[in-house]
Amino acid sequence: MAYNAVETITRKRDGGKLSDDQIRWLIDAYTKGAIADEQMSALAMAVYFQGLDDRELSTWMNAMIASGDSMSFKGLGRFAVDKHSTGGVGDKITLILAPLVAACGAAVPQLSGRGLGHTGGTLDKMEAISGWRADLTDAEMRAQLSDIGAVICAAGAGLCPADKKLYALRDVTGTVESIPLICASIMSKKIAEGASGLVLDVKVGSGAFMKTPERARELATRMVGLGKAAGVATVALLTDMSTPLGLTAGNALEVAEAVEVLAGGGPQDVIDITLALAREMLAMAGIAEDPAVVLASGQAMDVWRAMVRAQGGDPDAPLPVAAHCQDVIADTDGYVTSLDALAVGVASWRLGAGRARKEDPVQAGAGVKLHAKPGDRVAKGDALMTLYTDTPQRFTDALDALAGAVVIGDTPVAPRPMVIERIA
């Protein structure tokens, strides 16, 4: 049967269902350039308002997988398990989690991306390390997984090319927040990647794409369903992103904090989420190791150093430091009762740690270091946070983003649970 773009757009616009063949035709034609960006933009907006049911979503995702290559990690001798975060502020968990889970005996093929907007990108963080390279061949990736057990790298150009085109389009057409399109984007890449297990870290709160538990639960439930239907063991944790994770947001700043955790220190919230995700990944792999014990032993640090070296990086090289810094000062005594993650993420972005367009450069040393978080007591005149950038004219816009971000009250607040819910 012949299909055309206009009929497909209007059917979805009016609330109709797209057939499996129609969806497969659509994704294939768009990937090959037979459907124009303006037509796919209209369809993405129709999906944003009308949604995709479970059948449509499954077909859409599988068509995106079929648009390119798929990988397999059979024969490694280790269970391959991956983690994906939906993005947040100060989320440096992958940098600790990949070597930790590898040190426990699993293989962790962590195909990661770059930051866009207020959420940081794992590859940008890793590229703050002198000499480190993100682009590996499939053979290099497999060899590193076999030898070391973990790899953090960019996805190859052949993996889900339909997603690359559609993701860029969604970013400039106001359709990023569509739950079906998020599901298809994440899960097509993760299933094409070929891991046998997947743990999803679905962020909830002001610094996340999903602002409410209800929206996060819907996203997590649909992604878990897609993973299981594809034969991949899949679990999701809903985790708090109302406050930045850890005490840093920015590329080199977050690498330093991740190394601090690997060395046996670091902020408790980062440790707690890392261990919660590690336990899920190890349970999938059938590994009985306690990740807390392995982290304390230093074995994860050994894997981290080997990972960095294997990709040309120097784990002993000093990390970049921004040329300029400025403190944000408390104007009263009291307890920090809230610290808005979105505001900190936007400030870090405006300081140069993030990008507005995919082709923009980032500053390795730019970002925000926090000195107080909810529950902490502060005195008037204390530094609440320090801002870092190579371009001091950026301070004004960063400070504008932080207006009202820190609330100081008379009574301390109880710590929020980091893991809100588990969906399996």
Distance CA 355, CA 119 (A): 9
Describe the crossing of helices 93-103 and 299-310 by its angle, rounded to 10 degrees.
Answer: 110
Q: How far apart are alpha carbons 78 and 81 in whole angstroms?
A: 9
Instruction: Specify the DSSP element, H or E, that contains 47.
Output: helix 37-50
Residue pair 99/304 in contact (Cβ under 8 Å)? The answer is yes
Q: Is 185 noted as a catalytic residue in this protein?
A: yes
Output the tens digit of pLDDT for each of the chain's 424 residues: 689 999 999 999 999 999 999 999 999 999 999 999 999 999 999 999 999 999 999 999 999 999 999 998 988 889 999 999 998 999 999 999 999 999 999 999 999 888 777 777 899 999 999 999 999 998 999 999 999 999 999 988 889 999 989 988 887 888 988 999 999 999 999 999 999 999 999 999 999 989 999 999 999 999 999 999 999 999 999 999 999 999 999 999 999 999 999 999 999 999 999 999 999 999 999 999 999 999 999 999 999 999 999 999 999 999 999 999 999 999 999 999 999 999 999 999 999 998 877 778 899 999 999 999 999 999 999 999 999 999 999 999 999 999 999 999 999 999 889 999 999 9
Whether the Cβ atoms of residue 227 and residue 187 lie closer than 8 Å to each other: yes
CA of residue 22 relative to chain centroid, distance? 31
Selecting among 125, 142, 170, 203, the annotated active-site residue is 170
Distance from C-alpha of 105 to C-alpha of 285, rounded to nearest angstrom: 9
In the sheet with 377-378, reading across from the earlier edge strand, the strands are: 377-378, 334-339, 406-409
Taken in order of first residue, the domains within the chain and their CATH numbers are 5-51 (1.20.970.10), 81-156+176-310 (3.40.1030.10), 324-409 (3.90.1170.30)
Q: Comparing C-alpha atoms, which of 121, 93, 110 is closest to residue 278?
A: 93
Half-sphere exposure of 231 (CA within 13 A, CB side): 5
- How far is C-alpha 58 from the geometric centre of its chain's CA atoms? 22
Q: What is the per-residue pLDDT for 251? A: 97
Q: Which of 84, 92, 142, 222 is catalytic?
A: 84
- Among 377, 264, 388, smallest CA distance to 324 is for 388
Q: Are 201 and 276 in contact (CB under 8 A)?
A: no
Q: Is 371 an annotated catalytic residue? A: no
Q: How does DSSP assign 271-338, residue by residue? A: HHHHHHHHHHHHHHHT----HHHHHHHTHHHHHHHHHHHHTT--TTSPPP--SEEEEEE-SS-EEEEE
Residues 6+ apart with CB under 8 A from 23: 56, 59, 60, 63
For position 10, what pLDDT does the model report? 97
Burial tier of 75 (Cβ tally within 10 Å: 0-12, 13-18, 19+): exposed
- pTM, two decimals, is 0.95
List the beta strands (DSSP E) in 115-252. Answer: 150-154, 197-204, 233-240, 248-250
3-state secondary structure of 175: coil
Pull the structure tokens for residue 178: 């569509």
How far does CA 158 lie from the centroid of its chain?
21
Q: Which of 189, 203, 217, 350 is catalytic?
A: 189
Catalytic residue among 58, 178, 185, 206: 185
Residue 92 annotated to the active site = no
